[in-house]
């Protein structure tokens, strides 16, 4: 498995395993599946309360369109799909993920995935050393496994003390 080494502002090096293409794809499929369950729930509510179709459609489009952006912003780089696959988005310079970073990723999500049917994602993922898609490159983010690589050896612990 490939890994990346990030240096924090306190000059602490953290090594993360890079998320595989399969992990990212499955997380994406789970997220898309989730965004299609939400409309079913809203349509069930709509038929029960007989609200305007225009209001329901507007709510559905808003929720489904902004789901990746909102979830990554508020859940520290996780979406529900990423959470189940134990991967998340982090900044390449190890600073906290910001609102603007998630917005950039979300904006390029449309180009990366939907306009090109995933071909741009695959091209950038397999041609960059850090396995980033176009949105990751622009936002300076990377998708990694949630837990940092950790190899504890007694010799290394003695070096610290």
Predicted confidence (pLDDT) at residue 27 exceeds the cutoff of 80: yes
pLDDT digit string (tens) for 53-63?
667 667 777 77
Provide the token pair at 126. Answer: 């397999």
Angstrom distance (rounded) from CA 83 to CA 6 = 21
Residue 114's CB is within 10 A of a number of other CB atoms, namely 9
Angstrom distance (rounded) from CA 103 to CA 89 = 13
**Residue length of the chain:** 161
Is residue 90 within 8 Å of residue 131, measured between CB atoms? Answer: no
pLDDT digit string (tens) for 67-122?
888 999 999 999 999 999 999 999 998 888 999 999 999 999 888 877 888 788 88
Q: Is 22 exposed, middle or buried (0-12, 13-18, 19+ CB in 10 A)?
A: exposed
Provide the token pair at 80. Answer: 């529900």
Q: How far apart are the first and last CA of the chain?
A: 30
In the structure, what pLDDT confidence band is assigned to residue 49 with cuts at 50, 70 and 90? low
């Amino acid at each position: 498995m490939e890994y990346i080494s990030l240096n924090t502002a306190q000059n602490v090096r953290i090594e993360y395993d890079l998320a595989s293409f399969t992990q990212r794809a499955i997380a994406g499929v789970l997220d898309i599946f989730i965004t299609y369950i939400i409309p079913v729930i809203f349509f069930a509510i709509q038929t029960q309360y007989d609200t305007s179709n225009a209001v329901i459609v507007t709510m559905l489009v808003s929720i489904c369109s902004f789901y990746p952006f909102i979830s990554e912003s508020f859940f520290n780089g996780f979406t529900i799909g990423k959470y189940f696959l134990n991967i998340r988005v982090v900044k390449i310079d190890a600073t906290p993920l910001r609102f603007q970073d998630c917005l950039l990723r979300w904006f390029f999500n449309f180009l990366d995935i939907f306009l090109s049917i995933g071909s741009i994602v695959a091209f950038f993922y397999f041609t960059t050393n850090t396995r980033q898609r176009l949105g990751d490159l622009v936002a300076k983010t990377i998708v990694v496994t949630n837990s940092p690589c950790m190899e504890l050896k007694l010799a290394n612990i003695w070096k610290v003390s």
